[in-house]
Amino acid sequence: MSGGRPVVLVTGCSSGGIGYALCERFAVEGCRVYATARRLETMSGLAAHPLISLQTLDVTVDEDVKRVVAFIVAEAGQLDIVVNNAGFISVGPMIEQPLDNVRAAFDANTYGTLRVAQAAFPHMAARRSGLIINIGSVVADIVVPWNGVYSAAKAAVRAMSEILHMELKPFNIKVMYVAPGSVRSNIANNQAAKFSLQPGSLFTEFLPNIIQRMNGSQGPNSMPADKFAREVVRRALQKKPTEVTHARR
- Which residue among the candidates 34, 154, 174, 177 is catalytic per the annotation? 154
DSSP 96-111: G--HHHHHHHHIIIII
Task: State yes or no: is 177 an active-site residue.
Answer: no
Q: What is the C-alpha separation between 208 and 205, in angstroms, rounded?
A: 8
| H helix intervals, the chain | 18-28, 62-76, 99-106, 112-127, 148-167, 187-192, 207-214, 225-236
Q: What is the C-alpha separation between 92 and 77, in angstroms, rounded?
A: 44
Task: State yes or no: is 154 an active-site residue.
Answer: yes
Q: Which amino acid is at 74?
A: A
Q: What is the C-alpha separation between 169 and 1, in angstroms, rounded?
A: 13
Q: Which amino acid is at 204?
A: T
Q: What is the C-alpha separation between 170 and 22, in angstroms, rounded?
A: 28
In this structure, the number of other CB atoms found within 10 A of the CB of residue 120 comes to 24
Spatial contact of 35 and 43, defined as CB atoms under 8 Å apart: yes
With CA atoms as reference, report the closest residue to 139 among 90, 175, 101, 97. 90
With CA atoms as reference, report the closest residue to 105 among 124, 86, 125, 126. 86
- Which residue among the candidates 150, 169, 174, 240 is catalytic per the annotation? 150
Residues known to be catalytic: 150, 154
